[in-house]
Amino acid sequence: MVIAPATANTLSKMASGISDNLLLATYLSAKCPIYFAPAMDLDMYKHPSSLNSFKTLQSFGNIMIPAGSGELASGLHGEGRMAEPEEVATFIEQHLTASTPLLNKKVIITAGPTYEAIDPVRFIGNHSSGKMGYELAKQAAKQGAKVILVSGPSSLNISDESVTLIRVNTAQQMYDAVHNYYDSVHVGIAAAAVSDYRPKVVADQKIKKAGEEMTIVLEKSPDILLSMGQHKKNQLLVGFALETENEIANAKKKLEKKNLDFIVLNSLNDKGAGFKKDTNKITIIDKAHNSKSFDLKSKAEVAKDIINEVIAKLNA
């Protein structure tokens, strides 16, 4: 929302939270970024109350479009002249571009587990909640990206116009969904915990208890990340490695085998990391084997670190 011109009286009321007209009521209830463009006579512009209002409004996260200098309505010359419409438009465009470095970028992210059916009742799965992938989607959207979030079974949801949520159950469904969009994206982030194996034969009816043992023949599930690496053109590709031993060595092998630009390593040996946690502790390793280790953080903060690395790699 843009408030221009913003007079000294209007600014003072906005800063103090006083609302007596539609504009101020709209401002106080707004949830979008707000830009304000001061426009007033020289003495009013320089007055301490106006300067204090500028500072107060900016402290709330509002963005000030500086007034220009020139001839004012009073005949004086100096600061206080409202920025021209094209200057306002240029300022907002430049500010949005700087604050949303993934603007005009498309990102596909996988999240959560996959469930591979044994029969209509039972399945092979894992403990992934999807929290890491959902936080990555939120952070990528916050940075301006259009996000396709392909999620395995998860209780989580996301409400952001910039995120398209596609729900799947199996590895094959996730594979198909990813490759429906992969050629059109700039970044791929594979945060899902995909089942490596699935039952070769799925029973049509619930398997009844019989005998002391039951044998299930498994076959490999499609390797989604490997296929993304094989089909990579100009995409930046990021994978995850959850390890319990030889963490660095295993992560580097996966990085190279799957043709990744960088890999996010987390270990179940680290307290506070892993499935169903609200925190994570990661090390990022790039294809030149440069590594960055981070302290234990909330998954929201970890997502910021990962997306910042994505932005740095894209800019490089």
pLDDT digits (tens, 9 = 90+) for 261-305: 999 998 777 676 666 678 889 999 999 999 999 999 999 999 999
126 as an active site residue: the answer is yes
Helix (H, G, I), strand (E, B) or coil at 82: coil
Helix (H, G, I), strand (E, B) or coil at 257: helix
What are the extents of the domains in the chain? Answer: 2-99, 106-315
Structure confidence at residue 120 (pLDDT):
96
Mean pLDDT throughout 21-25?
Answer: 69
Mean pLDDT throughout 79-103?
Answer: 83
Tell me the pTM.
0.75
Q: Say if domain 106-315 classifies as CATH 2.30.30.90.
A: no
pLDDT digits (tens, 9 = 90+) for 127-159: 999 999 999 999 999 999 999 999 999 999 999
Mean pLDDT throughout 3-22?
Answer: 61
d(CA 130, CA 132) in angstroms, rounded, equals 6
Residue whose entry in the numeric block shows the structure tokens 């296929």: 227
The confidence band for 6, taking pLDDT boundaries of 50, 70 and 90, is low
CATH fit for domain 2-99, picks 1.20.950.20, 3.40.50.300, 3.40.50.1950, 3.40.50.460: 3.40.50.1950
Pull the structure tokens for residue 307. 């997306």
Mean pLDDT throughout 92-105?
Answer: 84
d(CA 265, CA 289) in angstroms, rounded, equals 12
Q: Say which residue, 3 or 160, is predicted with more confidence.
A: 160
Question: Which residue of the set 126, 169, 250, 259 is catalytic?
Answer: 126
* Residue 221 scores a pLDDT above 90: yes
* Residue 3 scores a pLDDT above 60: no
Q: Do the domains 106-315 and 2-99 match in fold?
A: yes
Structure confidence at residue 80 (pLDDT):
74
Contact 218, 197 (CB under 8 A): yes
* Residue 14 scores a pLDDT above 80: no
Q: Where are the beta strands (DSSP E) in 11-162?
A: 35-38, 63-64, 68-71, 77-81, 106-111, 116-117, 123-124, 146-151
- Pick the range with the lowest mean pLDDT from 54-63, 102-111, 160-169, 257-266: 54-63
Helix (H, G, I), strand (E, B) or coil at 164: strand
Q: How far is CA 111 from the centre of its chain?
A: 12
- Pick the range with the lowest mean pLDDT from 39-53, 70-84, 98-112: 70-84
Per the prediction, the chain carries an average pLDDT of 89
Length of the chain: 316
- Pick the range with the lowest mean pLDDT from 40-44, 188-192, 232-236: 40-44
